Amino acid sequence: MGAPHICIEGVNKVFASEGREVVALQDIHLEIPRGQFTCLLGPSGCGKSTLLNAVAGFAPPSSGAITVDGLPVSAPGPQRGMVFQEYALFPWMTVAQNVGFGLEIKGVPRAEAAATVERLLGMLSLLDFRQRYPKDLSGGMRQRAAIARVLALDSPIMLMDEPFGALDALTRRNLQDELLRIWAELKKTILFVTHSIEEAIYLADRIVVMSYRPGTVKRDVLVELPRVRDPADPAFNALKRELGMLVMEEQQRHHLAELRMAAVD
Ligand code: ADP
Ligand code: MG
């Protein structure tokens, strides 16, 4: 085992919101090895996006440190690509242009860029859709294009914030399978946010369960089930029940907090 790829050390994040302080993250420590597929799991409001955005370099922590390859993260950078839930594609560009956009910005020679775009369109089953605009694609196709666009930059780290949250169950499973295939082939380090317990168990090497306000690491588990995982497998279900209890506790804390807020207002 070498040095961790991503190191999160004593990270705190406090937001001031309507005169109140919200401790979104409290004393988060995580060492993420190169090539690990890690899921951040927890109900809405427990700081998953805040942590991912801090690793991305979009919004720095209030205190603590994040390093990638031992270097402090202070801004977005080429080692870290981000895929959001709402496909961040340019509506005025075709699929192929969207996928190639970052390569053009980087000044990659045209022929080389075209070959890369072609390869990625193939990898994500988008070859027949290359000339379409985002508005003429299904949600699943748009997410494929968004993933291809991040892969084009060849970032060793992929940060994914509920990327499949808006998709129907079948499309979601297809994209999960494709992501696992790409991950195995390209050996990326993936930090993937979800509030779906099943999605986390289906995908991850490691699941970090977060607590609601303050957002802390409530449980950090390695998932050792062989892939392709089967949600009908008893071991899958045992883990699902165990994690389900933890997530439910946090969900209840969320509801109680909302009731309390409503009572104060
Ligand atoms: P999650 O992604 O797990 O749903 P977030 O990271 O979006 O959670 O939010 C964590 C907590 O921080 C929530 O309570 C949310 O209301 C609060 N929060 C997030 N962003 C801001 C912000 N820009 N200003 C104030 N509060 C915020
Ligand atoms: Mg979020």
Q: What is the CATH number of the domain that holds 226?
A: 3.40.50.300
Give per-10-residue mean pLDDT for the chain (265 aa).
Answer: 90 92 96 98 96 97 97 94 87 96 92 95 94 95 93 94 93 94 95 98 98 96 97 98 97 91 79
- Total count of domains within the chain: 1
CA distance 104 to 115: 13
Query: Is 206 a member of any domain?
Result: yes
pLDDT at residue 176 in the model: 96
Query: Is 129 a member of any domain?
Result: no
Residue 197 contacts residue 240 (beta carbons within 8 Å): yes
Q: Is the CB of 257 under 6 A from ligand 1?
A: no
Tell me the ligand closest to 23's alpha carbon: 1
> How many angstroms separate the alpha carbon of residue 160 from the centre of ligand 1?
17
Residue nearest to atom 27 of ligand 1 (CA): 15
CA distance 37 to 34: 9
Q: If you compute the radius of gyration of the chain from its CA atoms, what whole number of angstroms results?
A: 19
> Of 204, 193, 210, 198, which is closest to residue 246 (Cα–Cα)?
210
> Of 205, 192, 110, which is closest to residue 150 (Cα–Cα)?
192
pLDDT at residue 139 in the model: 92
Specify the ligand 1 atom closest to the Cα of 213.
14
Query: Is 182 a member of any domain?
Result: yes
Query: Is 258 a member of any domain?
Result: yes
Q: Is the CB of 15 under 6 A from ligand 1?
A: yes
Residue 193 contacts residue 160 (beta carbons within 8 Å): yes
Length of the chain as a residue count: 265
Query: Is 90 a member of any domain?
Result: no
Query: Is 230 a member of any domain?
Result: yes
Domain with 181, as residue range(s), is: 6-79+155-264
Residue nearest to atom 6 of ligand 1 (CA): 47
> How many angstroms separate the alpha carbon of residue 87 from the centre of ligand 1?
20
Q: Is the CB of 49 under 6 A from ligand 1?
A: yes
Q: Which residue has the tokens 């594609």?
A: 89
In degrees and rounded to multiples of 5, residue 262 shows phi and psi of -65, -35
CA distance 61 to 210: 17
Query: Is 115 a member of any domain?
Result: no
Residue nearest to atom 7 of ligand 1 (CA): 49
Query: Is 148 a member of any domain?
Result: no
Q: Is the CB of 22 under 6 A from ligand 1?
A: yes
> What pTM did the predictor assign?
0.95
pLDDT at residue 82 in the model: 94
pLDDT at residue 17 in the model: 83
